Amino acid sequence: MSERSASAVLAEAAAAAGYAPSVHNTQPWYWRVAGGALYLFADRRRQLQNTDPDGRLLMISCGAALHHARVSLAAQGWTASVRRMSDPADGDLLATVTLADHVGVTASAMRDFQALRLRHTDRRPVSAYGVPPIALEEIQRAAGGEGVDLHVLKPDQVSELASASARADHIELMDPEQRQELAYWVGGERAEGTGVPDSAIPHAPLQTVVPGRDFVRAGTLEAGPGHDKEASYAVLFGSGDSPADWLRAGEAMSATWLTAQQLGLSVLPFSAVIEVPATRETLHRTILEGIGYPYLVLRIGLPDPDHAGAPHTPRLPAEQTVEIAD
């Protein structure tokens, strides 16, 4: 054991996990440090009950938080052992993390940790240059390292995604309860530390091939007149479609995003097509040709070089998401 106690190391990892991306910035996780272990729970109070009744996006978000905690442990020099969904009687206990060996900090662990602090969702148009194939391969390897596949869409599949995405948005916005949920989580300054603030939403509708989520309001984020024509679209997918698979998908999403960040690329998740069962099925049958279940769509691109990115979105204070019982 190093000079710091296991409890302090694990608490720091749980606090760093707070930087993880989550659907509508709901941060639907709760951490408990007790008896030399770190427990990750789903916090159903921040589940999108109408938009995400099965908790898919909640699990993906919690998976991202779990991966962020793992990155923090590596940046503190520790290897960790992780048991996922180990209690059949408690589906909300998502993972138990314990410290394994103190191996010291590697340069790659530090780069991952720096990327964790810099990463953010970029809803601006991408630049006029495409993503180098070699970069996409590296991002695919990052997903593969977490046991999840990443399929990069071919041009004809991007058109299929565009129509599925428009359909998903339309279906969601026709539903008054989903509209209400969206309005609850999106817009304003978000002083309470959750949700998507106006500062992260473009000030005007963008020209896009694939429509991004319609937040039904203009934000304050300056965005150029660019397009998404040079963006790459990719689907994270795998052979299972259970909560445990969605958790792994979230870990893979975090790993791909931190890799993209280090390659100077911007990432924007698209989840409406996953939330709506009919369009999720379209992705499964057409784009993935039945070879796997889609977990999340990602737009990957070179960031707009002419405008500043959005400021970081707020987060809940660690005291509200991390309990230290030791």
Which positions from 250 to 269 touch ligand FMN by CB under 6 A, shown as an x/- string? ------------------xx
Helix (H, G, I), strand (E, B) or coil at 306: coil
Q: Does 25 bind ligand FMN (CB under 6 A)?
A: yes
C-beta separation of 282 from 157 below 8 A:
no
Spatial separation of the C-alpha atoms in residues 236 and 130, rounded to whole Å: 20
Segment lying near ligand FMN (by CB under 6 A), choices 120-128, 166-174, 176-184, 217-225: 120-128
Check the CA dihedral 323-4-86-94 and report its sign.
Answer: positive
Binding to ligand FMN in span 299-318, by CB under 6 A: 313
C-beta separation of 21 from 64 below 8 A:
yes
CB atoms within 10 A of CB 152: 17
Q: Does 24 bind ligand FMN (CB under 6 A)?
A: yes
With b meaning 16 or more CB within 10 Å and e meaning fewer, what string describes 104-119?
eeeeebebbbebbeeb
CB within 8 Å of 302: residues ≥ 6 apart:
126, 127, 129, 130, 131, 230, 264, 265, 266
Q: Total binding residues for ligand FMN by CB under 6 A?
A: 22
Q: Does 22 bind ligand FMN (CB under 6 A)?
A: yes
Q: Does 279 bind ligand FMN (CB under 6 A)?
A: no
The closest residue (CB) to ligand FMN is 21
Q: Does 165 bind ligand FMN (CB under 6 A)?
A: no
Q: Does 243 bind ligand FMN (CB under 6 A)?
A: no
Residue among 99 and 310 whose Cβ is closer to ligand FMN = 310
Q: Minimum distance from CB of 240 to ligand FMN (Å)?
A: 17
Binding residues for ligand FMN, rule: CB under 6 A, are 21-25, 57, 60-61, 64, 120-121, 123, 196, 212-213, 268-272, 296, 313
